[in-house]
Amino acid sequence: MTALLSAKGLRLAFGGLKAADGIDLDVEAGEFLAIIGPNGAGKTTFINMTTGYLKPQGGTIAFEGKPILGLSPRRIVGLGVARSFQLPQLFTEHTVLQNVALAVAAREGVWSVLTPLLRPRFRDEAAELIARFGLTRITDVRADALNEGARKLVDIAMAVALRPRLLLMDEPTSGVAAAEKMAIVETLVRVLREAGVTAVFVEHDMEVVGRFADRVAVWGQGRIAALGSPSRILNDPEVQRTVIGIAPNGGAHAAA
C-alpha cells in the first residue's frame, strides 16, 4: 500500500538558508504525525511546499500516488489536502458562522449567486461544526473580535469543513491559553478521528505531542533528524538537547 502523502528529496533554499535540504517523508493514511524542531528548521516550509504555496527547487511530492508538485494551492485543496495556519487566516469582517459556512460553500462550489451563503444546508453544517469545536457561543461574533485561541480553532474548523483527507496544521495550539489547551486538543483529535482525517501538525508543546501523535518527525536545518514513535523520540537525549531543551515546560518557545 502506498503512503497517503509521499515526499522525496525536497530541497528549497532562501538565499543561503536551506529550509529544505533533502526531505524524505511518508505519511500513512489515518495517522497523526507531529513535526517538531527549533524555529527556522523548515517545518512551516514543509507545509507550504506540500500545499503549493512554495515551490521546492528539487524533489517530488505525491498525494495518493499522484504528483502534486507545481500545482496551485487551489488544485491541491481540490485533491483533498487542507491546511490551517500559524497566524489564523480568517475573513475578519465576517462572523464565525460566515467564515465556516464560506468554507463549506467553497467545498460545494461558490458559483451560485441566487441563493444566500447562509442557506439552511450550509448554515446547519457550519453550526454543527462550530458546536463540535465548542465555539457555539461565539457563532455570531465577527472574526476580528475573537481572541487568539478562538481564532486558531475557527481557522482549523474552516480547514476541516473542506472535508480533506489530509490536514496540515501549523502550530494548532500556539496562542491558546494553557488552561484550555488540552481540552481543545482533545476536541480537535476527536473531530478529526470521527472524520477519518489524516493529520500532520507542527507543534512545540511536547505534552501535546506525547499525547496525540502516532509518530514524531524531528526537523533540524532543513532535514529530518529523527523519525519514530513519540516515546522513542521524546526520550532521545539528542532530541531533548536540541529541541525540547529550547522549549521548556512545553509551550512558550524561546527565541531561537
Q: Which residues bind other proteins (CB under 8 A)?
A: 48, 51, 53, 72-74, 77-78, 82-83, 85, 87, 89-94, 98, 102-103, 105-107, 110-118, 122, 158-159, 162
If DSSP codes are grouped into helix, strand and coil, which group holds residue 181? helix
Residue among 78 and 245 whose Cβ is closer to other proteins: 78
Shortest distance in whole angstroms from residue 158 CB to other proteins:
7
Shortest distance in whole angstroms from residue 72 CB to other proteins:
7
Residue among 60 and 89 whose Cβ is closer to other proteins: 89
Backbone angles phi, psi at 138, to 5 degrees: -105, 15
CA distances from 130 to 116, 127, 140 (A): 19, 5, 11
User: Amino acid identity, residue 114?
Assistant: L
The residue written with cell numbers 487568539 in the block is: 148
Shortest distance in whole angstroms from residue 51 CB to other proteins:
7
- CA dihedral in degrees (150, 155, 161, 165; nearest 10)? -120
Residue among 102 and 209 whose Cβ is closer to other proteins: 102
Taking a C-beta distance cutoff of 8 angstroms, is the pair 38, 27 a contact? Answer: no
Shortest distance in whole angstroms from residue 121 CB to other proteins:
12
Residue among 116 and 245 whose Cβ is closer to other proteins: 116
